[in-house]
Structure 1
Amino acid sequence: MRRKRKCRIITSVEKRGIEHGKTEGLLEGIEIGLELKFGSEGLTVLPEIVQIQNVEILRAILTSIKIMNTLEELRQIYQ
């Protein structure tokens, strides 16, 4: 017996929702990482980072938090 495979097309609205979800998740991770690494001072750069909509840059920020020693080093990734 053959099963028909249903092919689903993702709409542009769904794509935007997925991107929004990724962005929100990355921002939450960045917030936690900044606070753990730099304390409350780390959260001072969060308003700058929230403005970034590029998921790849947000990923780079999140993965770099653990190896950066200063907030200025971190800023160099997105400025």
Structure 2
Amino acid sequence: MSVFEKSFFYQESFKKGYEKGYAKGWREGFLPELECALERKFGCEGLKLMSEISQISDLEQLKAIYRGVLKINTLREVDELIRSLQISST
């Protein structure tokens, strides 16, 4: 969990939004952040994963991918992370 995710503001905002049924809104707001992280770290090649990532509806999985992008050094490892998350959710 990142420092931002641990912050009071994030926790309260997420909790309130989720309770009101805004999980889809959080997801839609989170996808551009993830896209930016992929592009910054891996360039245009990283953006190719967005078509697959945008099919994921679970916000926790998207956050796990985002954290992975920040820590992982290769695009192949990111792809493996995405696949492992998809397998574990089925």
Q: Which bracket does the TM-score occupy, shorter chain normalised?
A: 0.7 to 0.9
Alignment of 1:43 with 2:47, yes or no, is yes
- Give the CA RMSD over aligned residues: 1.1
Could you report, residue by residue, the CA deviation over 1:8-41 in whole angstroms, capped at 9, with x for unpaired residues? Answer: xxxxxx51xx111111122111100000000111
Could you report, residue by residue, the CA deviation over 1:52-77 in whole angstroms, capped at 9, with x for unpaired residues? Answer: 00111000011111111111111222
Q: Which has the higher contact order (CA 8 A, sep 6+)?
A: 1
User: Equivalent residue for 1:74?
Assistant: 78
User: Equivalent residue for 1:30?
Assistant: 34
Task: Output the TM-score relative to the length of structure 1.
Answer: 0.74
Q: Structure 1 vs Structure 2: percent identity of aligned residues? A: 39
Residues 61 and 74 of structure 1 are in contact (CA less than 8 Å); yes or no, is this contact kept in structure 2?
Answer: yes
Task: Output the TM-score relative to the length of structure 2.
Answer: 0.66
Work out which of the residue numbers 44, 53, 58 in structure 1 matches 2:57: 53
Segments of 5+ residues of structure 2 without an aligned counterpart are 1-19, 84-90
Amino acid aligned to 2:68: S
- Larger-gyration structure (1/2): 1
Work out which of the residue numbers 51, 55, 64 in structure 1 matches 2:68: 64
Q: Which has the higher helix share?
A: 2
Number of positions where the alignment pairs a residue of Structure 1 with one of Structure 2: 64
CA–CA separation in structure 1 for the residues paired with 2:30 and 2:81? 15
Tell me by how many angstroms 1:78 deviates.
2.2
Segments of 5+ residues of structure 1 without an aligned counterpart are 1-13
4+ runs deviating over 3 angstroms: none
